[in-house]
Amino acid sequence: METGNYTPVTEFIILGLTDDTEVCAILFIVFLGIYVVTLMANISIIVLIRSSPQLHTPMYLFLCHLAFVDIGYSSSVTPVMLMGFLRKRILIPFSGCIAQLCFGVTFGTAECFLLAAMAYDRYVAICSPLLYSSHMSPKVCILLLGASYLGGCVNAWTFTGCLLSLPFCGPNKVNHFFCDYSPLLKLSCSHDFTSEIVPAISSGSIIVFTVCTRILKF
- Mean pLDDT calculated for residue range 142-150: 95
- Give the pTM: 0.88
Counted residue by residue, the chain has a size of: 218
The amino acid occupying position 49 is: I
The CATH class, in words, for 12-217 is mainly alpha
Distances in Å between the Cα of 182 and the Cα atoms of 25, 86, 130, 137, 151 are: 27, 24, 48, 41, 21
pLDDT at 161: 92
Confidence of residue 1 (pLDDT cuts 50, 70, 90): very low
pLDDT tens for 92-113 read 999 999 999 999 999 999 999 9
| pLDDT at position 172 over 90 | no
Highest mean pLDDT, choosing among 103-112, 124-133, 169-178, 182-191: 103-112
pLDDT at 190: 78
pLDDT at 216: 65
Between CA 171 and CA 9 the distance in angstroms is: 8
Query: Are 94 and 10 in contact, with CB atoms under 8 Å apart?
Result: yes
| pLDDT at position 153 over 90 | yes
Confidence of residue 5 (pLDDT cuts 50, 70, 90): low
